[in-house]
Structure 1
Amino acid sequence: MGRYRRLLAVLLFVAILLGIVEWLGLRGHFSLAYLQQQLAGHPVGGVAAFVALFALGNLIQIPGWVFLASAVLTLGQLGGGLVTYLAAIVSCIVTFVSVRTVGGDALQRLDSPVATRLLGHLQARPVGIIALLRMLFQTLPALNYTLALSGVPFRHYLSGTLLGLPLPIAAYCLFFDYLASHWL
């Protein structure tokens, strides 16, 4: 049971955060309309709120595409992409630090051949694998949690994140801009 204590602590952490978000009535702040309103109505404060909501949303398992779509639809391809890249980096850092603080390297402590093999690959080439994972899954909350609990050093996590996010963010910017111009 001892080796699962940290994983249980992470689950409790997420449950408490979800409870606080519900209690404070913040659920509606994670909608496309609310995020667009913040970005459009308050240039500096709106960006700060957007970054904070992205970080909180990532912690409570809100996918990053919601934030990217609202930024692109409000600020256009370039502005939306840059704001989202900044927010995604901050969000990934906040998630890493929070989850690592609570859960440590809990996945390394599991007695599982599959986990050992996968984490061995990650430890052998952390920056490249993290960059590839970011290209495929961007800021997917489950990925952030897994990487934070993997024991990978923060500098490798950050380097892989910085390298891996620009391409998918740019692709999504084009996609959401196309949707906006042809469907909305």
Structure 2
Amino acid sequence: MRSSHRLLLVIVFLLGLFVLFEALGIRAQFNLQALQALILMHPVAGLLLFTLLFALGNLIQIPGWVFLAAAVLALGRFYGGIVTYVAACVSCIATYVTISYLGGNALRELNSPLAQRLLNGLDRRPLTSIIILRMLFQTVPALNYTLALSGVRFRSYLLGTLLGLPLPIALYCVFFDYLAILLNIAH
């Protein structure tokens, strides 16, 4: 299958998923209160569902900070951070597997000097590049899609994700915890 067809397949899949969840009103259910209630619902089932929704949310363009804020407000900055880190890693892995399955390494096959220059930079230092990208953009869906379609090896993607997410998640945990205290929102 040509790269343009693979990219089109990925776009149609993501757009279809987005439209379906928007039309069914499910996308609106990804909010702080609902996610907090889910986390607190049951110690194991709630966290597993939270992780599943984080992965699904990443595919339908729900920002990761919503999940992080819900976890911090429900569990506090330490446990909320740990839960978010695990859920974010699972989410990134699920996105990589799904998008690379559908799109392969379609970005490598593009006839674009800019794309090739960016991919060459990623090839020279894949782990370092992914760590830095994760520190800057965390779980932004566009980053996940791009890395999955870039042909970067799963091992580099996984290690870069595992090593790049802790610092920004920790900083956001402190921020959301401080904000909860400031706004007098108990956790």
Report the TM-score range of the alignment, normalised by the length of the smaller protein.
Answer: over 0.9
Mapped partners of 1:12, 1:74: distance in 2: 35
Mapped partners of 1:88, 1:64: distance in 2: 8
Read off the aligned partner of 1:175 and give its amino acid letter: F
In the alignment of these two chains, the number of paired residues is 184
Read off the aligned partner of 2:13 and give its amino acid letter: F
Q: Which residue of 1 aligns with 2:176?
A: 176
Read off the aligned partner of 1:146 and give its amino acid letter: T
- Contact 2:35–2:50 (CA under 8 A) maintained in structure 1: yes
Q: Which residue of 2 aligns with 1:87?
A: 87
Pairwise mapping of residues 121-136 of structure 1 onto structure 2 (< 5 A)?
Answer: 121-136=121-136
- Contact 1:28–1:34 (CA under 8 A) maintained in structure 2: no
Mapped partners of 1:144, 1:2: distance in 2: 21
Q: TM-score, normalised by structure 2?
A: 0.94
Equivalent pairs: percent with the same residue?
61
Mapped partners of 1:166, 1:85: distance in 2: 7
Matched, 1:76 2:71: no
- Contact 1:134–1:160 (CA under 8 A) maintained in structure 2: yes
Residue 108 of structure 1: how far off its partner (Å)? 0.6
Root-mean-square deviation (Å):
1.4
Q: Which residue of 2 aligns with 1:47?
A: 47
Read off the aligned partner of 2:80 and give its amino acid letter: G
Mapped partners of 2:2, 2:143: distance in 1: 24
Structure 1 stretch 143-152 or stretch 18-27: which is displaced more?
18-27
Residue 41 of structure 1: how far off its partner (Å)? 2.2
Q: Which residue of 1 aligns with 2:64?
A: 64
* SS of corresponding position for 1:151: coil
Residue 2 of structure 1: how far off its partner (Å)? 3.9
Q: Which residue of 1 aligns with 2:33?
A: 33
Residue 29 of structure 1: how far off its partner (Å)? 2.8
Residue 23 of structure 1: how far off its partner (Å)? 5.1
Matched, 1:153 2:153: yes
Q: Which residue of 2 aligns with 1:116?
A: 116
Mapped partners of 1:126, 1:25: distance in 2: 39
Q: Which residue of 2 aligns with 1:99?
A: 99
* SS of corresponding position for 2:63: coil
Residue 24 of structure 1: how far off its partner (Å)? 4.6
Mapped partners of 2:48, 2:97: distance in 1: 19
Mapped partners of 2:35, 2:2: distance in 1: 41
* SS of corresponding position for 2:132: helix
Gaps of 5+ in 2: none
- Contact 1:95–1:145 (CA under 8 A) maintained in structure 2: yes
Residue 125 of structure 1: how far off its partner (Å)? 0.5
| Cα-to-partner distance string for 1:110-133 (whole Å, 9 max, x where unaligned) | 111111010001011101100000
Residue 62 of structure 1: how far off its partner (Å)? 1.0
Mapped partners of 1:81, 1:57: distance in 2: 18
